[in-house]
Amino acid sequence: RKEVEQDPGPFNVPEGATVAFNCTYSNSASQSFFWYRQDCRKEPKLLMSVYSSGNEDGRFTAQLNRASQYISLLIRDSKLSDSATYLCVVTRSFYNQGGKLIFGQGTELSVKP
Amino acid sequence: DADVTQTPRNRITKTGKRIMLECSQTKGHDRMYWYRQDPGLGLQLIYYSFDVKDINKGEISDGYSVSRQAQAKFSLSLESAIPNQTALYFCATRSGRGPNEQFFGPGTRLTVL
């Protein structure tokens, strides 16, 4: 079983739709949580960090449930420019491992006109 | 100019050849990482370095070696390339202080024939 697992894609949605991505992680020692965005054939870029209290950045809302080891990303009012692969990422901060990111395989989103 | 650069951006080589991929950064970060990305597998950590005297293996270091020539430079070598090393390779950097965000280079697409 992979340490970080995401919904299989692709998600094909019309402009304006609301879409939700789910992610689960298996290591309860995971300490930090993120969503990265990766455009086709380009480098991943941080979309947002995820906090236990939930956090919002414009049309994007991230939630973390530590008890269930579950992370979500909600995108409201989808735009064509949201088309990308969304990567769920966790870190484990053992001694001398600081900042090592564990990536999910990614979920592809395609927003259509 | 990009903060994290990688050279070459694309490379086609033959089985058994020695290949070096180079990464440079101007962010002043002390931590640097090498990942490979294969379709459907997400990013996997090959090696990471906390400073010029600190090199650590990641999950998939077999067949690879690295050199941290300076704080700003971290190179990845394939001593004898094989076809299953065909992948997209990313270098990333992170500050040793503050948020866990990693900044990625644009990637090197390597094909081993």
A86 pLDDT higher than 90? yes
What band does B6 get if pLDDT is binned at 50, 70 and 90?
very high
pLDDT for res A4? 93
Q: Tell me which range, A37-41, A48-52, B80-84, B100-104, is most confidently predicted by mean pLDDT.
A: B80-84
Q: Which three-class secondary structure state does DSSP give residue B86?
A: coil
Interatomic CA distance for residues B51 and A37, integer angstroms: 27
Chains A–B, number of C-beta pairs less than 8 Å apart: 53
Band the pLDDT of A113: cuts 50, 70, 90.
very high
Among B100, B103, B104, the strongest candidate for a mutation testing the A interface, having the largest count of A CBs within 10 A, is B100
Cα dihedral B24, B29, B34, B38, rounded to 10, equals -100
Residue A1: pLDDT over 80:
no
- Which runs of consecutive H residues, i.e. helices, occur in chain A? none
- Using a CB-CB distance cutoff of 8 angstroms, which residues of chain B are in contact with residue A41? 88, 107, 109
The dihedrals phi and psi of B14, each to the nearest 5 degrees, come to: -110, 155
Instruction: Give the separation between CA B45 and CA A102, rounded to whole angstroms.
Output: 8
Q: What pLDDT, on a 0 to 100 scale, did the predictor assign at position A32? A: 87
Pair of tokens at residue A90: 């966790």
Sign of CA dihedral B23, B25, B31, B37: negative
Distance CA A16, CA A7 (A): 21
Listing from the earlier edge strand, what are the strands of the sheet with B65-70?
B4-7, B19-25, B73-78, B65-70
Q: pLDDT class for A99, splitting at 50, 70, 90?
A: low
Question: Which residue has tokens 């990313």?
Answer: B90
Residue B71 in this model has a pLDDT that exceeds 60 = yes
Cβ proximity of B47 and B33 under 8 Å: yes
Interface of B with A in 24-53 (CB under 8 A): 31, 33, 40-45, 48, 50
Residue, of B3 and A2, whose pLDDT is higher = B3
For A25-43, give one letter per residue: b (16+ CB within 10 A) or e: beeeebebbbbbbbeeeeb
How far apart CA B105 and CA B90 sit, in angstroms, is 6
pLDDT digits (tens, 9 = 90+) for A6-59: 987 899 999 999 999 999 999 888 778 999 999 988 999 999 999 888 899 999
Q: What is the pLDDT of residues B16-44, one digit of tens each?
A: 999 999 999 999 999 999 999 998 778 99
- Whether residue A82 is predicted with pLDDT greater than 70 in this model: the reply is yes
Q: Which of A62-71, A88-97, B72-81 has the lowest mean pLDDT?
A: A88-97
CA-CA distance, A60 to A2, in Å (whole number)?
26
Could you tell me which residues of chain A have a Cβ less than 8 Å from any Cβ in chain B? 4, 32, 34, 41-46, 49, 87, 91, 96, 98-101, 103-106
Q: Tell me, what's the pLDDT at A97?
A: 54
**What pLDDT was estimated at residue A11?**
95
Q: What is the pLDDT at residue B40? A: 75
- Which residue do the tokens 């950097």 mark? B93
Mean pLDDT of A99-110: 88
Reported as a single tens digit per residue, the pLDDT across A47-81 is 999 988 889 999 999 999 999 999 999 999 999 99
